[in-house]
Structure 1
Amino acid sequence: MIDGVKTKPLQFVPDERGRLMEIIRCDDECFKQFGQVYMTTSYPGVVKAWHCHHLQTDNICCVKGMIKLALYDAREDSPTFGQVDEFFFGEHAPILLTVPPYVYHGWKCISEDESIIISTPTEPYNREQPDEYRLPADSPEIPYDWLLLPGRRNG
């Protein structure tokens, strides 16, 4: 796994009223600080990639549908520099994924319906000076092909 990336298995607690699932707590190992919480969606087959941050750490959880999330370690001083990792998660495999600064990430909705992603970054979004650095999904700088089928190795 890319250095600094963390996963936290999540569990549903069901009862006769429905389900509850804790996503992130202030006493979790991956918790650094609170910036904001936001929800974003992706339509089936849509790729939202690539971006990274220089200041914030992202905590990402897919609560509806399923996504394929890919990471690329762009940190030249990292022991995993240049490494690509892939995660498949969502309502059928719930996890919280923590992505450190300078690690590019993006995802593709792989479910038949829209996916809903909850993100809890460590910093609030700064509209005047966004901490967001983007590359196109097919950037030659990242050795990853969004069109490959699951189980095939990228990079």
Structure 2
Amino acid sequence: MIEGVIVKKLVRHCDDRGYFTELVRDDESLLARFGQASLSLSYPGVIKAFHYHEHQDDVWFFPSGNAQVVLYDLRENSVTKGETSVFYMGEDHPIVVLIPKGVAHGYRVLGNVPATILYFTTSSYNPDAPDEKRIPWDDPLINFDWSTKNR
């Protein structure tokens, strides 16, 4: 796995009313500090990739739908520079993933329903100086094959 990436398995506390799950807590050191929480919905088959940050970390969670999440380590001084990690996240696999600054990330919505992503960052978005660098979804350096492999 890419250095600095943290995967947190979630615990659901279920009863006859439904369930409750903690996503991110201030006492577990996922985020160095809290900056912003955001919510986005993407339609089936959509690929949102790639981007990375120079100053902020992200924590991603997909509460509904399912997604293939791809991370690529761009950090010059990382022992995992050039490595790719893939996670299948969503209602069928409820996990939280910490994405460190300098790691490119993106996702593809799987299945026939939209996917919702809830994400937390260590800094608030600044439209005058956005900490968001874009890389094309089909960048030859990352060279990720987004197609589904029929087995």
Q: TM-score per shorter chain, which class?
A: over 0.9
Greater strand share, structure number? 2
Aligned residue identity for 2:12: F
User: Displacement, 1:148?
Assistant: 4.5
Corresponding residue for 2:31? 31
User: Displacement, 1:32?
Assistant: 1.4
Q: Is the 2:8–2:97 contact (alpha carbons within 8 Å) kept by the matching residues of 1? A: yes
User: Displacement, 1:22?
Assistant: 0.8
User: Displacement, 1:31?
Assistant: 2.7
Give the whole-Å Cα distance in 2 for the aligned partners of 1:131 and 1:148: 31
Q: Deviation per CA, 1:44-84: give whole Å up to 9, x if none.
A: 11100000000000000000011000000011211001001
User: Displacement, 1:111?
Assistant: 2.5
Corresponding residue for 1:65? 65
Q: Deviation per CA, 1:82-109: give whole Å up to 9, x if none.
A: 0011000111111110000110000001
Give the whole-Å Cα distance in 1 for the aligned partners of 2:68 and 2:27: 27
User: Displacement, 1:119?
Assistant: 0.2
Asked whether 1:77 is paired with 2:80, we answer no
Aligned residue identity for 1:37: A
1:74-153 correspondence to structure 2 within 5 Å: 74-149=74-149
Give the whole-Å Cα distance in 2 for the aligned partners of 1:149 and 1:134: 26
Q: Which runs of 5+ in 2 are unaligned?
A: none
How many residues end up aligned between the 2 structures?
151
Q: Is the 2:73–2:104 contact (alpha carbons within 8 Å) kept by the matching residues of 1? A: yes
> Which range moved further: 141-150 or 32-41?
141-150
Instruction: Report the TM-score, using the length of structure 1 for normalisation.
Output: 0.93
User: Displacement, 1:149?
Assistant: 2.2
Q: Is the 1:67–1:108 contact (alpha carbons within 8 Å) kept by the matching residues of 2? A: yes
Deviating above 4 A after TM superposition, structure 1's stretches of 4 or more consecutive aligned residues are none
Corresponding residue for 1:4? 4
Residue identity over aligned pairs, in percent, reads 38
Q: Which runs of 5+ in 1 are unaligned?
A: none
Q: Is the 2:31–2:121 contact (alpha carbons within 8 Å) kept by the matching residues of 1? A: no
Q: Deviation per CA, 1:118-148: give whole Å up to 9, x if none.
A: 0001110011100000011011121211124
Give the whole-Å Cα distance in 1 for the aligned partners of 2:144 and 2:44: 19
